[in-house]
A and B are shown apart, each in its own frame.
Chain A
């Protein structure tokens, strides 16, 4: 009994978890992320807990942080605490959904190129080379602007879908209030996601090429397995480490990107708000009301810090060879 227990090998993932747990910076990152994500995703969904982020009150304008308004209020008397949490929800959603879009495209593209090889590989990677040389921010701005008009149709379609075509006007409006904030973000997801998969595809291609050379793939092929099965069941799971690491490091990049666009007035649109928009509003009034800039920046920077530390920690844990020390 004891010998079998002793002889039980440890898996890669088990080792990696142990290494990650020893990394204090990464674990601190996990805790910070958990706190911020829970606060932003859960608190706004509890009814009557937070003040309405868009409720204006001239009597309450420009209040510094106090017991009633933890983070103070802005020039329209809106509560910054609830604005930061509601804005965080959008920023996090954009970060995660766009990363999912981008990683999905990148994994498929890179896996296909690496597995097919030859001319297919050349053609696919040439496309990546060309897209790499484009000025990213500028193309995203143009692409986002170009698909913006579709959001009206998309919103109407989604309202019909969820409320039913024959629904009463009040029911349609009710559906619209929660559908619209989501559909107006879709251009952003598509525009950023459509161009940010390039690095993922290069990483995945290199990984797939490495794994595909190994004997167990040869064995799988001689057993007569189909290409799709070999690629998705045998090759990709073995390339998962770098994909996870890169995904973690892509989220902060994309959140920063969304904030930049929103700061320039080209990203998230009011009445939606995001950390980028709050920072922009705060930056305009920072001389007299510094808390307007401080709290959104604090949440935003902490999230980026945590994700970057976690990403670095995951890289050290999953791939000890590439560790920085």
Chain B
């Protein structure tokens, strides 16, 4: 078990290395550079700035330097925001994105899973069709349509909830963005939960339990839940990734000062250290989420434990 986790972590490091290499060379091949602005900078000043940041050296030397610095935990200086360290930018804006993402994933689970269980339990009834139609709506209507509509309805017309902005301590600000962000994951989770629950509900042991007079609620919660949740749990890793990329869109719709906003700005300006920092952070989060998902899956499904 522990060996497996270490194995996965080792593979994760390899992924991060590939990610860094890919990002570095992609960003350096961009035509936009942090010093190629519309205002012409005198050549000698540009040369000095490039020398200061080490951009005048051969690409491979820079790559090697960045790699060594990264290994010692130094993310470097932002090229666009003068004198600010990438780690400082991340530590300021990441908590906002993290909070948004966590609220969204909690909402997705609390909406999606019960809906899927209900649909499976009342299979082929109106409840089932209604729940699955709702899930289809969540999958097909993109967040960038739902977000502005919700913001307009609840924020500007009814004035119940703030239409934009963010405040870490007041939940009123969280509801609309987190709901929009979590909706698509909630939809997938409900479909997967339904499929998993249906499969377990069709097993012989459920028929035996029913024949013995076990109540429906107990059958659902004690007999089926653990097995039926396996497909949904396997989706939590990918859901995490979906929420991370979704937050780029949500942050721009609701004007939330998170990491996504910084990321889009730094792509437009070719600010390599910030881009690399954000990409590596997101990459590590996705890797950790995938490992955690696998562990949860093994815990839920003992049959996976005997392999190897």
Contacts and interface: CB of A to CB of B under 8 A. Distances in A.
A138 B245 contact: yes
Interface stretch (B18-26, B56-64, B165-173): B18-26
A287 B159 CA distance: 14
Contacts of A142: 22-23, 26-27, 267, 275, 279
Contacts of A308: 136, 139-140
A309 B129 CA distance: 13
Contact of B123 (A260, A283, A293, A325): A325
Interface string B138-164: 011110110111001000100000000
Nearest to B191: A324
B30 A145 contact: yes
Nearest to A307: B140
Contacts, number: 111
Given A141-B267, A297-B145, A263 B249 contact: yes
Given A138-B263, A146-B30, A301 B248 contact: no
B124 interface: yes
A305 to B, nearest CB: 5
Given A133-B12, A145-B267, A324-B195, A264 B252 contact: yes
B279 A146 contact: no
A264 B249 contact: yes
A325 B124 CA distance: 9
B140 A252 contact: yes
Interface in B8-46: 11-12, 14-15, 18-19, 22-23, 26-27, 29-31
Contacts of B140: 252, 301, 304-305, 308
A324 B245 contact: no
B128 to A, nearest CB: 10
A297 B145 CA distance: 7
B11 A135 contact: no
Interface residues of B, number: 48
Nearest to A290: B152
B198 interface: yes
A280 B142 CA distance: 11
B145 A301 contact: yes
A279 B11 CA distance: 40
Nearest to B202: A325
Contacts of A266: 264, 267
A287 B244 contact: no
Given A136-B245, A280-B144, A325-B198, A264 B26 contact: no
A149 B31 contact: yes
A223 interface: no
Interface string A258-289: 01100110100000000010011001001100
A145 B275 CA distance: 13
Given A149-B31, A308-B140, A325-B123, A133 B286 contact: yes
B123 A286 contact: no
B151 to A, nearest CB: 9
B145 A133 contact: no
Counting chain B CB atoms within 10 Å of each CB, which of A145, A148, A286 scores highest? A145
Contacts of A293: 145, 148-149
Nearest to B280: A135
A228 interface: no
A308 B23 CA distance: 33
A138 B22 CA distance: 11
Given A145-B267, A283-B145, A304-B140, A324 B198 contact: yes
B282 interface: yes
Contacts of B183: none
A129 interface: yes
Contacts of B136: 305, 308-309
B103 interface: no
Nearest to A134: B19
Contact of A304 (B139, B195, B245, B287): B139
Nearest to B279: A138
A135 B283 contact: yes
Contacts of B29: 146
B142 A139 contact: no
> What are the nearest 10 A-B pairs in CB distance?
A137-B245, A283-B148, A304-B140, A142-B26, A133-B15, A135-B282, A146-B26, A263-B144, A297-B145, A305-B140
Given A149-B31, A283-B144, 11 more contacts: A130-B14, A133-B286, A133-B290, A138-B278, A145-B267, A260-B144, A283-B147, A283-B253, A287-B156, A305-B140, A309-B136
Interface of A: 129-130, 133-139, 141-143, 145-146, 148-149, 252, 256, 259-260, 263-264, 266, 276, 279-280, 283, 286-287, 293, 297, 300-301, 304-305, 308-309, 324-325
29 contacts: A130-B11, A130-B18, A134-B286, A135-B245, A135-B282, A135-B286, A137-B245, A138-B263, A138-B279, A138-B282, A139-B22, A145-B267, A146-B30, A148-B31, A259-B142, A259-B144, A263-B249, A264-B264, A280-B144, A283-B147, A287-B152, A293-B145, A293-B148, A300-B145, A304-B139, A308-B139, A309-B136, A324-B198, A325-B124
